[in-house]
Chain A
Amino acid sequence: MLHLLKARLKHGYQAIPDPLTVGIDPAFPGLPELARDADLTLLNELCPTQAFTPQGLDLGRCIFCGLCSRKYPEMITFTPNYKMAADSREKLIMAPGQTALPKIDFILPRKFRYSFALRSVSAAGCNACEMELGASNNVNFDISRYGVETVASPRHADGLILTGPISRNMADALAETWQAIPEPKYLILCGACALSGGLFAESEASDRAFLKHWQACLYIPGCPAHPLSIISAIVSIMKGS
């Protein structure tokens, strides 16, 4: 018992007082900013996921590997802004010169304002997004303070948070889990793989037909998405940004 108290005292206060405004290590690659004269074709040649479209950088595909910013620091920089999320796939494209993502318009119905239960499905995620999702609920980040919890059964869930590119072997299970969630239900995609297939977009073993049928209400980019990104994104659709 004394050991335990000693250990507890040594730790001090671990929770982040306000995960929505807390600062982050400047080394963190968050929201990218493209220079107005950035050569998107050049950048795209370098990019392992071909995230540079003629309109700009598609955060849905970007895996934040930093290859572009290391080679062409004058064209692109990743700012330590972890607040990156959008309510549609199109809004995730950062055009040259753009400094912020468009506001999230989507807001959940009022009854989810203080309580939003999510069922997580990992469909061939590499366990990085899964661990970050788990970390969102740990003693530091503590997403449950906003009434968000990950539940064991889809029957108890209001939404599904998907990680991973959706492997063929997991496609049926994902569809079945989605089916098991009672209406009204909301789909959240978390991480580059879930958003666009990421590195595995072209894999023969991926089957992303599920996303053709169902529209997600929230897209959280990252590889993996940082817990702070996840928290700020989910809270923004619960309470408005």
Chain B
Amino acid sequence: MLKAELNYSPCFEPVQPDKLGSFLDRLSELATQGFQPLAFWGTDERLIYALMGKTGELELLCTPFPENLHYPSLTPLFPAFQIFERELYEEYGIVPINHPWLKSVRHPLGGSVKIADYPFLKSASKLIHEVGVGPVHAGVIEPGHFRFLMQGEIVEHLEIQLGYQHRNLLKMLTTGPLAEKMPLAESIAGDTVIAHGTAYCRLVESLAESSPQASDIRALLLEMERVAMHLSTLSALAGDVAYIMGQNLYAALRTTVINSTLSICGSRFGKRALSPGGVNYPLNKTLIDTLKAKMQKCAGQIESTSEAMFACTSLLSRFDDTGKISREEALRFGFTGISAKASGIAVDARADFPIWDYPGFTVQTESSGDVYARAYLRYKEIMQSLIIIQKLLDQIDPSAPILAPVKELTPDKIAISIVEGARGRIVHIARSKDEHSALWYRVIDPSLVNWQALSMAVAGEQVSDFPLCNKSFDLSYCGSDL
């Protein structure tokens, strides 16, 4: 059992592999104790790893590949494992017996199923028709295919097929020196640059046993990214129900926020800001003052816009009771981020595995689990983040060093780094091979787990509510396709 420490991502000797039986028993035991699988994956060492986590507690387990590449699936009892077991099946051909939904996830090179041959669920009834959307969608968004089984206008079942965005990113992270993969880590998901970047930096730093500088600037950028992403989602949600004023005001506010990010580092998405060891660009006094004033003004504007929007009855009638995810479902499937918090589960890496001592931080939640809850929770998180931003700006010392040298990696260590991105908990895990490179590197974007939530939320709704539900989760395609 590893205790998470403030401002430090754990780094430790590789764990000893258990026997398959005791590995599975321990996983079940932890799952019944309320642990969630943060990651579960196979590696080229022919080992299956499992990282289980609960507030402030982590446990890493490992077992060799089963002899005949078969083992009893964990999914029927603990559905949170479903996508991980599918990954394991796709990458190493290990069959979880009795997995109810054993289909490919990303269709990587050399996979057995071509992306066009994905076996969708079909219905025998003539009256059930299908709606297939994607990979090229109507808007300017990433590719993915959604297949609906429809009873008239009502969605009976939604199956989401991703993999179009697969870039072989995990493999690329392990080829060449790990410390030089900053641009790649920033491209895991271009809208979650800071969260993934911070997770990567912290991982490298802990593998190199170096402590970074300017973690307050990182925290600042992370909160600004969260505000920007939530604003973008709120803008799109307003647009989806033709609440044009909200759409435009939130979009303009997002521009203000990301332009502030640009004034710090030069990129509206925070690319080029981070580096293992700290950050690349300092904040001077003038910039801090400008930012403070801008964010202050922003807060007022966001408040008035949201007050108007969440009082609009025609909008609420679309948001209320649409796309519900119950607390029980969210727990069982191990959803994270907004998807879990909107269903009343107080899970947030800023509280569970903090990277900065957020003073007086309480996890914001909503209880109804519908589109309204996810939208309103975003508003609440924005306001919370803006307060944190003000605190950070008060605290940041313009004269402090921003970049510490990073030593070479310690060979054969495993490090874990967890960051709360705008979409939820981001987990990076790697094992160092030698002083430079990683043996394997694993990235778990919250979207990977949360796509299931969208599928469940849409069932029983009218298909016209799908865009709304989809936006309310606002999941990343490339983040889960990698």
Q: Do chains A and B touch in the complex (CB under 8 A)?
A: yes
Whether B140 contacts A28 by the Cβ 8 Å rule is: no
Instruction: List which B171-207 residues lie within 8 A (CB) of chain A.
Output: 171-172, 180, 182-184, 187-191, 193
Task: Answer whether residue B10 sits at the interface, using C-beta atoms and an 8 A cutoff.
Answer: no
User: Roughly how many angstroms separate A27 CA and B168 CA in the complex, as a whole number?
Assistant: 32
Whether B264 contacts A27 by the Cβ 8 Å rule is: yes
Whether A205 contacts B168 by the Cβ 8 Å rule is: yes
Q: Report if A121-B252 is in contact (Cβ < 8 Å); known contacts: A48-B180, A126-B187.
A: no
Query: Interface 1/0s, chain A 48-67, versus B by CB < 8 A?
Result: 11000000000000011110
Instruction: List which A83-139 residues lie within 8 A (CB) of chain B.
Output: 119-135, 138-139
Task: Answer whether residue A241 sits at the interface, using C-beta atoms and an 8 A cutoff.
Answer: no
Cβ-defined partner of A128 (8 Å) among B138, B255, B264, B269: B269
Binds B, one of A161-169, A212-220, A231-239: A161-169
Whether A200 contacts B308 by the Cβ 8 Å rule is: no
User: Roughly how many angstroms separate A39 CA and B36 CA in the complex, as a whole number?
Assistant: 52
A196: which B residues are within 8 A, CB to CB? none
Query: Interface 1/0s, chain B 357-394, versus A by CB < 8 A?
Result: 00000000000000000000000000000000000000
Closest-CB distance, A122 to chain B (whole angstroms): 5
Whether B138 contacts A173 by the Cβ 8 Å rule is: no
Instruction: List which B137-180 residues lie within 8 A (CB) of chain A.
Output: 138-143, 163-169, 171-172, 180
Task: Answer whether residue A20 sits at the interface, using C-beta atoms and an 8 A cutoff.
Answer: no
Whether B171 contacts A204 by the Cβ 8 Å rule is: yes
A150: which B residues are within 8 A, CB to CB? 139-140
B167: which A residues are within 8 A, CB to CB? 124, 165, 167, 200, 203, 205-206
Closest-CB distance, A133 to chain B (whole angstroms): 5
Task: Answer whether residue A74 sits at the interface, using C-beta atoms and an 8 A cutoff.
Answer: no
Whether B136 contacts A128 by the Cβ 8 Å rule is: no
Q: Report if A199-B184 is in contact (Cβ < 8 Å); known contacts: A124-B167, A127-B189.
A: yes
| A123 and chain B: residue at smallest CB distance | B143
B168: which A residues are within 8 A, CB to CB? 200, 203-205
Whether A124 contacts B140 by the Cβ 8 Å rule is: no
Closest-CB distance, B201 to chain A (whole angstroms): 14
Instruction: List which A11-31 residues lie within 8 A (CB) of chain B.
Output: 11, 14, 25, 27-29
B245: which A residues are within 8 A, CB to CB? 4, 7-8
Cβ-defined partner of B265 (8 Å) among A27, A138, A206: A27
| B232 and chain A: residue at smallest CB distance | A131
Task: Answer whether residue A221 sits at the interface, using C-beta atoms and an 8 A cutoff.
Answer: no
Whether A127 contacts B190 by the Cβ 8 Å rule is: yes
Task: Answer whether residue A145 sits at the interface, using C-beta atoms and an 8 A cutoff.
Answer: no
Q: Report if A48-B183 is in contact (Cβ < 8 Å); known contacts: A7-B307, A25-B263.
A: yes
Whether B255 contacts A125 by the Cβ 8 Å rule is: no
Q: Report if A25-B262 is in contact (Cβ < 8 Å); known contacts: A128-B271, A140-B255.
A: yes
Binds A, one of B66-74, B297-305, B410-418: B297-305
Instruction: List which B89-139 residues lie within 8 A (CB) of chain A.
Output: 107-109, 115-116, 135-136, 138-139
Whether B262 contacts A27 by the Cβ 8 Å rule is: yes
How many A-B contacts if CB must be within 8 Å? 185
User: Roughly how many angstroms separate A6 CA and B189 CA in the complex, as a whole number?
Assistant: 36
Task: Answer whether residue B249 sits at the interface, using C-beta atoms and an 8 A cutoff.
Answer: yes
Cβ-defined partner of B268 (8 Å) among A8, A119, A138, A226: A226
A129: which B residues are within 8 A, CB to CB? 190
Closest-CB distance, A214 to chain B (whole angstroms): 16
| A132 and chain B: residue at smallest CB distance | B268
Instruction: List which B258-277 residues lie within 8 A (CB) of chain A.
Output: 259, 262-269, 271-272
User: Roughly how many angstroms separate A223 CA and B184 CA in the complex, as a whole number?
Assistant: 12
Q: Report if A28-B255 is in contact (Cβ < 8 Å); known contacts: A63-B183, A64-B272, A139-B248.
A: no
Closest-CB distance, B334 to chain A (whole angstroms): 24
Query: Interface 1/0s, chain B 306-320, versus A by CB < 8 A?
Result: 011001100000000
Q: Report if A28-B262 is in contact (Cβ < 8 Å); known contacts: A3-B307, A64-B272.
A: yes
User: Roughly how many angstroms separate A167 CA and B107 CA in the complex, as a whole number?
Assistant: 11
Whether B182 contacts A205 by the Cβ 8 Å rule is: no
Whether A128 contacts B252 by the Cβ 8 Å rule is: no
A3: which B residues are within 8 A, CB to CB? 304, 307-308, 311
User: Roughly how many angstroms separate A138 CA and B235 CA in the complex, as a whole number?
Assistant: 10
Closest-CB distance, A172 to chain B (whole angstroms): 7
Task: Answer whether residue A44 sits at the interface, using C-beta atoms and an 8 A cutoff.
Answer: no
Task: Answer whether residue B251 sits at the interface, using C-beta atoms and an 8 A cutoff.
Answer: yes
Task: Answer whether residue A77 sits at the interface, using C-beta atoms and an 8 A cutoff.
Answer: no
| B145 and chain A: residue at smallest CB distance | A173
Whether B136 contacts A121 by the Cβ 8 Å rule is: yes
Closest-CB distance, B259 to chain A (whole angstroms): 7
Give the interface centre of B116, B232, B255 by most chain A CB atoms within 10 Å: B255
Whether B166 contacts A124 by the Cβ 8 Å rule is: yes
Closest-CB distance, A15 to chain B (whole angstroms): 9
User: Roughly how many angstroms separate A29 CA and B266 CA in the complex, as a whole number?
Assistant: 6
Give the interface centre of B107, B266, B300, B307 by most chain A CB atoms within 10 Å: B266
Whether A131 contacts B248 by the Cβ 8 Å rule is: no
Q: Report if A10-B141 is in contact (Cβ < 8 Å); known contacts: A167-B167, A172-B116.
A: no
Instruction: List which B310-351 residues lie within 8 A (CB) of chain A.
Output: 311-312
Whether A27 contacts B263 by the Cβ 8 Å rule is: yes
| B403 and chain A: residue at smallest CB distance | A70
B268: which A residues are within 8 A, CB to CB? 132, 224, 226
Cβ-defined partner of B140 (8 Å) among A14, A66, A134, A139: A134
A153: which B residues are within 8 A, CB to CB? 138
| B253 and chain A: residue at smallest CB distance | A11
B232: which A residues are within 8 A, CB to CB? 131
User: Roughly how many angstroms separate A11 CA and B190 CA in the complex, as a whole number?
Assistant: 28
B interface residues (Cβ-Cβ under 8 A, vs A): 107-109, 115-116, 135-136, 138-143, 163-169, 171-172, 180, 182-184, 187-191, 193, 232, 245, 248-249, 251-252, 255, 259, 262-269, 271-272, 280-281, 300-301, 304-305, 307-308, 311-312, 476-478, 481
Chosen A-B contacts, 8 in total, with CB atoms closer than 8 Å, are A27-B262, A28-B266, A124-B164, A128-B271, A130-B142, A132-B268, A173-B164, A205-B166
Q: Known A-B contacts: A124-B143, A124-B165, A169-B165. Give 6 more (CB < 8 A).
A: A4-B245, A119-B136, A124-B166, A139-B248, A150-B140, A203-B168
